[in-house]
Structures are given as C-alpha cells and as structure tokens.
Amino acid sequence: MVVTGHTSSEGAPGEGAPGQGTPAERGPGGETARSVSIRDVAAAAGVSYQTVSRVINGHPSVKGSTRDRVLGTIAELGFRPNRAARALAGGTAQSVTVLTSNTTLYGYAAVLEGVEEAARTADFAVGVRVVESAEPDAVRDAVARATEAAGALIVLAFDRAGAAALAAVPDGVHLVATVETPVGEAGAGRPWVWINDREAAVTATRYLLGLGHRTVHHVAIPSSAETGQRLAGWQSALAAADAGIPPAIQAGWDSRSGYQAGRALAADPAVTAVLCGNDDLALGVTRAMIEAGRAVPGDVSIVGFDDTPQSAYFVPALTTVRLDFTELGRAAFALLHERISGRPATVARLDPELIIRESSGPPPTGGA
Amino acid sequence: MVVTGHTSSEGAPGEGAPGQGTPAERGPGGETARSVSIRDVAAAAGVSYQTVSRVINGHPSVKGSTRDRVLGTIAELGFRPNRAARALAGGTAQSVTVLTSNTTLYGYAAVLEGVEEAARTADFAVGVRVVESAEPDAVRDAVARATEAAGALIVLAFDRAGAAALAAVPDGVHLVATVETPVGEAGAGRPWVWINDREAAVTATRYLLGLGHRTVHHVAIPSSAETGQRLAGWQSALAAADAGIPPAIQAGWDSRSGYQAGRALAADPAVTAVLCGNDDLALGVTRAMIEAGRAVPGDVSIVGFDDTPQSAYFVPALTTVRLDFTELGRAAFALLHERISGRPATVARLDPELIIRESSGPPPTGGA
DNA sequence: CTGAAAGCGCTTACAG
DNA sequence: CTGAAAGCGCTTACAG
C-alpha cells in the first residue's frame, strides 16, 4: 500500500511501485472545456448581451417573448454563466462557503452534507474553509479567506473557534450561523439557526431519572461558551428534580476522551447513569465501564447525543438523542438563500427524539 | 428542539420559539469588508500595477529591490488578490473543487479533510460538489458545475459515481483522482493517487489464515469496478493458500448493511472468520454474530478496514487495517499542486498497518 | 526590468 | 422594454 507523488512517472506501476502515474494517452469521454458566453447567446437569439444578462438574472423588464427566445437558445447552447465574472462584476456570487473548525466529526460533517445538498439544489457552489483554532491570527486569516470569494458564508459556531470566527466576520457579507445558543455573544446580531440542545438534554436526563437513578453524571463536549447547552440542560433537569448535581467531566469530542472520562467514572460506585455529550464519547465511556467490570446497563446506564449511524449497532446498542444535523444544514442554507434572494423559504421544524435502546435501564437493585 | 426559518422574526426566542432570528444590532469585531486592490499597492509602492501583478505571481523579471518594496507595502496594506478577478483574467484560479459521491463516510470525509488542509496551506480555496449517482445526467451536471469554477479538480473515484464523473471530465482541466485501481478505466489517462487496498486485503487475509482459520469470508463494500480491490486481495490470498473461496457478500457502506450480511453469515456454523470491507460493516457483522449467540472472537473472528477513530473502542475492540485517507487527500493535493505550479512536490510514502485488537483470534478448537 | 493596452465574462446604471 | 458604456480586479502579451 503506497501513496506517492513523484513527478510524472509514466506507465503502469507494478506491485510496490509508486502509486501515482500520468499515462500519456487520454481516456474517452472528454468533451471540450469552457465555451459559450453571454455574447454567443445574444448573437444566436438576436438580442444584445445585456438582455441576456437580464434574462438570466430574472430581471422583470423583459418582454415575455424575448425572454422565452433567450431561454431557448440558452438551453440549446448549453450556456452557463461564469461565476467568476458575475462575482467580479458585482452580481450575486451564487456561492456559499462553510467556515468551520472541523469537517469530519459527525455533527459537523452532517451539517456540511445538508448545506451542500441544499446549495446544489439552488445551484450555488459550495466552499469549505477550516479555522483551526480561536487564536486571533487563525481566525483573522480564515475569515479573510472565506470572505474574499465575495460569496455568502455559513459559519458553524458550535465551538470556540467557530464562535470566534463568527464574531470576526465583517459587516456586509451575507451570513448565517449555526449556533449553540441563539442568545449571547455567539449569535449576537447575526441570523442563526440552531438545535435546542438544552431541551434535548433535559429530556434525556429526565428519562434517566424516571428510570429510578438518584442522579445522572455528565461527560461534556467542548462548547462555544463557558457552559454548553447540553450541560446546562442536564443541570437544570437535575435541579428541577431535586437530584444532586455531580461535577461534570469536561471532555473532548472523541471516544478516546470518553474512555478516559469513563475510567474515572467507573471508579466511583455511586455512578449508575451517565449522559454523554455525544455518541463517540458514550462509546468510550461504555468501553471503560465494561473493562472495569461494570455492566451496561446492568450496573450503569449510558446515554449519548446525536444518534450517529453506528450507534444502533454498538454492543450494547446506544440509547441516545437523535439530532438532525443534516436538516440543520439545509435550514441554514435556506435561511441564507432567503436573505440573499428575498424570497421567503420554508424550513422544516425538527423535534428531538430520544431513541431508547439497550444501554440504559433501571439502576442496579442494590444501588438505587 | 426546533429549527425554523421564518423570515426575520426579531427578538430573543423563548422556549419552544422559532429557532431562527435576526436581531437588529450588530456584534462587535466587524471590520469593513473588501478593499485594497493591486492599484492601491502600486500607488503606495510607487510602481505600476503590472509590476505588482508580477510580484504576486512570482514572475522572475523584477528587480530585487522593487520586489521587496512591493512585498513590503502588500504586507502593510494587507492586500489579498481577488480570486474571481484572477480566474477571469486567465491566471491561476488557486482553487480546487473536490468532486465526490459522498462527504460523510469515514474514508471520503478523511480525504476531504486532507485536501482542505493541504489546500489551505498552499493558499488554495476548496470547493465541494457531490455527484449523486452514476446516471449520465447527474454526472454531466456535476462535472459541468465542478468545472466551471475554472479551478482544478480532485475527483474521488472510489465508487461508480465517482469513476463515472472522472471519466466525464473534459480535457484541459487540472485534475487528480483518488482511485481504487490505477490501471483500468477508472484512472485511465489521468494522474492519480491511491492506496493499495489489494495488498492490505492480502495482509489481513493471511493474518486470519495464519491464526488457523480454514478460510475467511468476506463482506464487500461497493466498488468503482466489478471487482473491488479489497475483494480481489482477499481472493488472491485465499487462492495462494489453497483455501476455499466462499462467495463474497456484497454489501453497502454502513453498519446496517453489515448487520444484514452478518445475520446470513451467523447462520452458517462453518464461518469462523470474516474480513469486512470497512469498519462500519464490521460493527454490524459483529453485532449480528453476538445476537446470534456467536462469540467474537471466540467463535468467529472479525477484521475490518480503515481504522476509524471509534474502532478501538468497540466491544470487542476491532482488529482492522489502518489506511491513512487524510494523507491520501494531502497527497492528491500535492500532486495537483505540482502539476499546476510545475514545482515538484514531495509526498510521504504510506504503508498499510494491520492493527490487531480483540475481535480476532484462533478459530474455536472444535471448529478448525 | 517596467510601463501602457487590451480583455477575461459579466453587471450595473444611463440612455433611449 | 432594450441598446451602448463603463468598470469589477486582475493577467497576458507588447512595447520600451
């Protein structure tokens, strides 16, 4: 298994040969690149190219018959407006770039998927730019780059880096943010879209309490603020039930981090229920519990957040709160498109859903 | 938990209120958008704007002192060349778009991550365009859109849709493909980068055979060709060892699909070892086995492919072949950059690594 | 080594 | 309702 990039090593590499090549001939199927412009269309339709411009931009003052004719020749010639030229000339760029700190974690990747899908449907190009940290330099650079395309922006402000980037976006650029909390600094003054994590956390915590657990422990994901919404919901549900509020364990996003938190939790016999900030964390916590000889859910119940495609196949299958991040991405784009085009969009209303599977149950008889 | 997009519902939404808003005021931190051009730099540096153009493009014929002066004022003024203008004027677009059938599956998302990282470092903008299927219309449209940016292309041709898109890219566009097989139609005539899946499959199969299993079963992921490379490697390793070659089970990419395949396999007592086309599939197969009362690895050994971040935390922890897709993405970009700039790039050589964990072991004593 | 010219493909005002 | 003009910010030849 090799991956290399030596310059133009021609011919078919054999076993163990460099995994890169640039054969001389070309395969079939190649049409010619680049071509028909607004002027070609104009000539073919017998109008000036300004009129063609009006037609493709849906300008109202164009006679119906000429519009139809132009539209016809556009279809015939397969004309596609050049985005770079449009952007340069000051028209709508028809492009969104997603500014985010991550593209592979489940929630982030799902939002990106939703944005791409919706953008594609609306014929928008989509760009991706990651901002590596909340450091001023990184943020400034990321925003500058993401913004220079002259297109619109969707910033994923679920964490500190994203929130910092959101705050640094200059006025005047079309923007929608996906935020953790609509109020507060993160979303301040910007159009946003969100998922009510707090309410979802309340639901999950209440469910665990309802099973008979005296209290629920929490392993938290990073947040855009001091207190994450999932953590806040967990706390308030506990308070409302007059249950004790154990200190939350601050973790990262991945299973490794959950595993470490789980080892600490497993050492405490009083722990019978753990609400984890996401499913990856829950996987790690579960493994740590099992390694420590604590049965799940016999001795301790574990609940996650997100419902990743794998969660139903974990052993034990994970009880979790399903959050539709893909739809959130679609909603973000819809809102953005609405603000750009002026045409109101309809966005589906999503509700959280607690998916009860095998990792949760009543506390051990001797323990509750 | 709500996500909505009603038009400009101002004010702070309370519990259960629409999860979207556009407060009137603006947060702090907003610098002014757009600004300094090549002409501003020229004026400030006391040269013509053409000279500035030469400097930013690394043109050789510029006196050292004037180059330094221009570079200095560029830094001072914070000048950033306008990509749209550059693209329009025929210069290098400094942008890549990743054309792929998927953005969330582990391997795809990891490649995208690697491309983004490398592109960012080289100051390239990155776009994403998904091609939904191998249908001619979908392919034509995807290629047309991905290509219109005038920038370069990286096509992920691991599956049929990706391979079809690759075949449809017209000549003359800068392009690098990540392919399953360097020879054959998929990579034909195009520069490519790959991971030797076949060799990795051989390694994994041999390992299982070495443990004492009479043969190894296979649950295959989709492929860009009739026979996938992982499947081919598995077959050849079996043949080389004179082991029987059971029919492979063709599956999809996800755990659900693996679970279904696993149910079928669990019904056959002769099955003691299963090589799965990826870790998600392995998770599903494992669960099906356990549900059927077959212990893993006591009764059946299971090996995956990829080594996702979760695999080490599965119960049992998954034995798998680690493939560095992120590095593959970086390599794809490096190759592309090399072809665009002419400057040779150095790309790391990657080797597959079999990660032995808990899901594999010798066959049951009575069974082998 | 460094200006002045022309043009990339479009859009926005300005005149009819 | 529909032309002709000017210009978006850059790059590529062409002249010095």
Would you call B123 helix, strand, or coil by DSSP? coil
CA A110 – CA A98 distance, rounded (Å):
12
Chain D bases having any atom below 7 Å from a protein CB: 1-5, 7-13
Q: Are A295 and A336 part of one and the same domain?
A: no
Among A90-99, A200-209, A322-331, which is the least confidently predicted range? A90-99
User: Tokens standing for B349?
Assistant: 């050589």
Q: Are A84 and A94 in contact, with CB atoms under 8 Å apart?
A: no
Going by their DSSP bridges, the two strands A249-250 and A273-276 should be labelled as: unpaired
Question: Taking Cα atoms as reference points, which of A128, A49, A89, A126 lies closest to residue B130?
Answer: A126
B12 CB neighbours in chain A (<8 A) are 182-183
**Residue B7 Rama label (left phi>0; alpha psi -120 to 50; beta):** beta
Mean pLDDT of all residues in A264-272: 97
B218 falls in which pLDDT band (50, 70, 90)? very high
pLDDT of residue A159: 95
The pLDDT tens digits for A284-329 are 999 999 999 999 999 999 999 999 999 999 999 999 999 999 999 9
Residue A181 has pLDDT above 90, yes or no: no
**In angstroms, how far apart are the furthest CA atoms of chain B?**
87
The CATH number that applies at residue B138 is: 3.40.50.2300
Contacts of B187 (CB under 8 A, 6+ apart): A21, B157, B166, B177, B179, B181, B194
pLDDT band at A246 (very low <50, low <70, confident <90, very high): very high
CB-based contacts of A226, cutoff 8 Å, min separation 6: none
Residue numbers 23-62 of A with CB closer than 7 A to any atom of strand C: 34, 37-39, 49-50, 53-54, 56-57
Question: B297 preceded by cis ω (within 30°)?
Answer: yes
DSSP A139-195: HHHHHHHHHHT-SEEEEEESSHHHHHHHHHPPTTS-EEEEES-SSSTTTTTS-EEE-
Is A274 domain-assigned? Answer: yes
B48 pLDDT tier (thresholds 50, 70, 90)? confident
Of A104, A280, A290, the CB nearest to B315: A290
**What is the least distance, in Å, from the CA of B300 to any CA of chain A?**
16
pLDDT band at A172 (very low <50, low <70, confident <90, very high): confident
**Does B177 lie in the same domain as B130?**
yes
As for how many domains chain B has, the answer is 3
CATH number at residue A46: 1.10.260.40
Nearest to B308 by CA among B158, B109, B112: B109
The verdict on B201 and B263 lying in the same domain is yes
A36 nearest nucleotide via C1' and CA: C9
**Average pLDDT of chain B to the nearest whole number:** 86
Longest dimension (CA), chain A: 88
For B279-311, b/e burial (b = at least 16 CB within 10 A) is bbbbbbbbbbbbeeebebbebbbbbbbbbbbbb
- The reply to whether A100 falls in a domain is yes
Average of pLDDT values for B128-137? 96
CA–CA separation, B49 and A88 (whole Å)? 18
> Is A8 a member of any domain?
no
Residues B47 and B76 occupy one common structural domain: yes
The model's pLDDT over A292-304, given as tens digits with 9 standing for 90+, comes to 999 999 999 999 9
Check residue B39 and give its pLDDT.
Answer: 87
Give the pLDDT band of residue B26 (cuts 50, 70, 90).
Answer: very low
Query: What is the DSSP annotation of B280-343?
Result: HHHHHHHHHHHHTT--TTTT-EEEEEE--TTGGGSSSPPEEEE--HHHHHHHHHHHHHHHHH--
Interface-testing mutation among A38, A56, A115, A128, with chain B (most B C-beta atoms within 10 A): A128
Domain range for B76: 38-80
Of A103, A171, A254, the CB nearest to B116: A103
For residues B120 and B368, the model is more confident at: B120
Which of B187, B276, B188, B224 lies closest to B108 in space, CA to CA? Answer: B224
Mean pLDDT for B263-287 is 98
Q: A280-302: buried (b, 16+ CB within 10 Å) or exposed (e) per residue?
A: bbbbbbbbbbbeeebebbebbbb
Domain finish residue from A22, A52, A82 = A82
Give the distance, in angstroms, between residue B82 CA and nucleotide D9 C1'. 6
Residue B152 host element (H or E): strand B152-157
**Residue B37, C-beta contacts closer than 8 angstroms, at least 6 positions apart:** B79, B82
Strands of B273-276's sheet in order across: B249-250, B217-220, B273-276, B301-306, B319-322, B353-355
- A165-169, A213-217, B151-155: which is most confident: A213-217
Task: State which nucleotides on strand C lie below 7 Å from a protein beta carbon.
Answer: 1-5, 7-13
A178/A213 same-domain check: no
pLDDT band at A116; cut points 50, 70, 90: very high
Side chain identity at residue A101, one-letter code: S
CA B178, B180, B186, B190 torsion-angle sign: positive
Domain co-membership, A144 together with A289 = no
Residue A253 in domain: yes
Q: Please give the pLDDT value at position B14.
A: 28
Confidence of residue B84 (pLDDT cuts 50, 70, 90): confident
Helix (H, G, I), strand (E, B) or coil at A292: coil
- The residue-averaged pLDDT of A198-214 equals 97
- In chain A, beta strands by DSSP E: 20-21, 95-100, 125-130, 152-157, 175-179, 192-194, 217-220, 249-250, 273-276, 301-306, 319-322, 353-355
Place of tokens 């696993």: B262
- Could you tell me if B174 and B241 lie in one domain? no
Preferred mutation among B313, B335, B341 to probe A, highest tally of A CBs within 10 A: B313
> Tens of pLDDT along B225-272?
888 999 999 999 999 999 999 999 999 999 999 999 999 999 999 999
Token pair listed for A163: 């929130």
Question: Which of B198, B310, B340 to mutate against chain A (most A CBs within 10 Å)?
Answer: B310
Instruction: Provide the token pair at A217.
Output: 């422990």
Of B9-18, B59-68, B262-271, B356-365, minimum mean pLDDT range: B9-18
DSSP run (H or E) holding B100: strand B95-100
- For residue A30, is pLDDT > 50? no
More confidently predicted of B38 and B161 = B161
Question: Is a pLDDT exceeding 70 seen at residue A11?
Answer: no
Co-location of A154 and A187 in the same domain: yes
pLDDT at residue number B150: 66
**Contact present, A107 and A129 (Cβ < 8 Å):** no
Nearest CA in chain B to A343: B7
**Residue owning tokens 């619109």:** A152
What mean pLDDT do residues B194-216 have? 96
To which H or E segment does residue B117 belong?
Answer: helix B106-121
The pLDDT value given to residue B366: 60
In a domain, A228, yes or no: yes
Residue A23: which residues within 8 A CB-CB, separation 6 or more?
A: A10, A11, A12, B188, B189, B190
Q: For residue A286, which residues of chain B lie inside 8 Å, CB to CB?
A: 313, 315
Whether the pLDDT of residue A180 is over 90: the answer is no
For B21-36, what is the mean pLDDT? 42
Which of B313, B320, B143, B342 has its CA nearest to residue B230? B320
pLDDT bucket at B15, cuts 50 / 70 / 90: very low
H-type alpha helices, B122-216: 136-148, 160-168, 197-210
Does residue A28 fall inside a structural domain? no
B153: β partners: B97, B175
Query: How many angstroms away from the CA of A180 is the closest CA of chain B?
Result: 11
Distance from CA of A34 to the nearest CA of B (A): 7
**Contact yes or no for A5 and B110 at CB 8 A:** no
Q: How many CB atoms lie within 10 A of CB A239?
A: 11
Distance B72 CA to D7 C1' (A): 28
- Residues from chain A that touch B29, judged by Cβ atoms under 8 A, are 167-168
Decide: helix, strand or coil at residue A357: coil
Q: Considering only CA atoms, which residue is closest to the C1' of nucleotide D3?
A: A48
Residue A279 domain-assigned (yes or no): yes
Residue with the larger pLDDT of the pair B151 and B221: B221
Q: Which two three-digit tokens encode residue A4? A: 């290399």
A182 and A202 co-located in one domain: no
Please list, residue by residue across A133-150, b when 16 or more beta carbons sit within 10 angstroms of its beta carbon and e when fewer do.
ebeeebbbbbbebbbbbb
Query: Is the same domain home to B99 and B73?
Result: no
Burial of A226 (0-12, 13-18, 19+ CB in 10 A): exposed
The CA–C1' separation of A109 and D11, in angstroms, is 37
Mean pLDDT along residues B276-286: 98
In a domain, A130, yes or no: yes
Give the span between the Cα atoms of A50 and A38, in whole angstroms. 8
Q: Cβ of B85 < 7 Å from strand D?
A: yes
Tokens of A36: 């028909």
Q: Which nucleotide is nearest to A41 (CA to C1')?
A: C9
Q: What whole-number distance in Å separates Cα of residue A362 and Cα of residue A297? A: 8
Residues B292 and B333 both lie in one domain: no
Kind plus residue range of the DSSP H or E element containing B97: strand B95-100
| Backbone φ and ψ of A117, nearest 5° | -60, -50
Over 70: is that where the pLDDT of B20 sits? no
Confirm if B208 and B265 have CB atoms less than 8 A apart.
Answer: no
**A365 confidence band (pLDDT: 50, 70, 90):** confident
Q: Could you tell me if A105 and A186 lie in one domain? A: yes
* pLDDT-based confidence at residue B161 (cuts at 50, 70, 90): very high
Lowest mean pLDDT among A70-79, A168-177, A182-191, B184-193: A182-191
* Short-list B3, B300, B32, B335, CA closest to A144: B32
At how many degrees (to 10) do helices A49-56 and A38-45 cross?
A: 110
* Averaged confidence pLDDT in chain A: 86
* 3-class DSSP state of B219: strand
Q: Is A50 helix (H, G, I), strand (E, B) or coil?
A: helix
- B89 CA: nearest nucleotide by C1': C8
Q: State the nearest Cα–Cα gap between B213 and chain A, in angstroms.
A: 24
Q: Do B313 and A349 touch (CB under 8 A)?
A: no
Element at A75 (helix H, strand E): helix A64-77
**Amino acid at site B315:** V
